[in-house]
Amino acid sequence: MTPSQDLAPLQVTDSPEEKFREYLEIRGEKLTEPRRVLVNHIFNTHKHFDADELVADLRESGRRVSRSTVYRTLRLMVDAGLLRELRLTNRSAYEHSYGYPSHDHMHCTQCGAIVEFRNEEIRKLRELIGQEFGFRPDNHRFVITGQCSDCLKARGRRRKLDQI
């Protein structure tokens, strides 16, 4: 297993903004200033986020983009292949798809932490299952849900205190 810090960005020829502009042009749409602000803000750092966190981040940085524009633009960015939507236990989170290697996730259902990892055995299994069913897989989504080590430690401490 490879932890998330080893999931370095891949070399790509076009910037996310250029890719998004190209996608929008194919649809007959324009890369408006709010959309440009969003794509650049999102790709400025690599982290998982939901729409509400994005709106809060934008406000904190002094940028005003309407909530409806954020939701519509996130959907467009997923459709364009720039972002991947992760459907988690109680929310949808987004992450970079364009320019980042394929990977899987663990999601702590207690604190909400998301851990990225790569595992070659999972990829091999995907290919074997595809062959078995005459299917050529090109991607998959694998999310392990449970509790992270910090939450398990905190839970263990509470239980010891409960015994006093």
Tens digits of residue pLDDT in 47-92: 899 999 999 999 999 998 999 999 999 999 999 999 999 888 778 8
- pLDDT reported for residue 5: 46
User: d(Cα 48, Cα 115) in Å, to the nearest integer?
Assistant: 10
For residue 35, tell me if it sits in a domain.
Answer: yes
Q: Choose the final residue of a domain: 60, 75, 100.
A: 100
Tell me, yes or no, whether 93 and 130 share the same domain.
Answer: no
Tell me, yes or no, whether 69 and 111 share the same domain.
Answer: no
Supply the mean pLDDT for the chain.
87
Name the binding residues for Zn(2+).
108, 111, 148, 151
User: d(Cα 3, Cα 153) in Å, to the nearest integer?
Assistant: 20
User: d(Cα 44, Cα 38) in Å, to the nearest integer?
Assistant: 10
- pLDDT reported for residue 101: 83
pLDDT band at 1 (very low <50, low <70, confident <90, very high): very low
For residue 154, tell me if it sits in a domain.
Answer: yes
Give the CA distances from residue 70 to residues 16, 37, 39, 89, 96, in Å, rounded to whole numbers and listed in that order.
Answer: 16, 10, 10, 22, 16
Tell me, yes or no, whether 48 and 75 share the same domain.
Answer: yes
Alpha helix segments (H runs only) across 13-119: 16-26, 33-42, 51-60, 67-79
Name the binding residues.
104, 108, 111, 140, 148, 151
Tell me, yes or no, whether 125 and 71 share the same domain.
Answer: no
Tell me, yes or no, whether 87 and 28 share the same domain.
Answer: yes
**Parent domain of 106:** 101-164
Tell me, yes or no, whether 49 and 38 share the same domain.
Answer: yes
Task: Decide if pLDDT at 3 tops 60.
Answer: no
Tell me, yes or no, whether 93 and 116 share the same domain.
Answer: no
For residue 37, how many other CB atoms are within 10 A of its CB?
Answer: 17
The string of pLDDT tens digits covering residues 111-164 is 988 888 989 899 999 999 999 999 999 888 888 899 999 999 887 765 555 445
Average pLDDT value for residue range 94-109: 89
CA 13 to chain centre: 21
Q: Indicate the residue type of 1.
A: M
- Enter the pTM of the model: 0.78
Task: Decide if pLDDT at 27 tops 60.
Answer: yes
For residue 5, tell me if it sits in a domain.
Answer: no
For residue 44, tell me if it sits in a domain.
Answer: yes
Name the binding residues for Fe cation.
104, 140
Average pLDDT value for residue range 34-45: 95
CA 92 to chain centre: 9
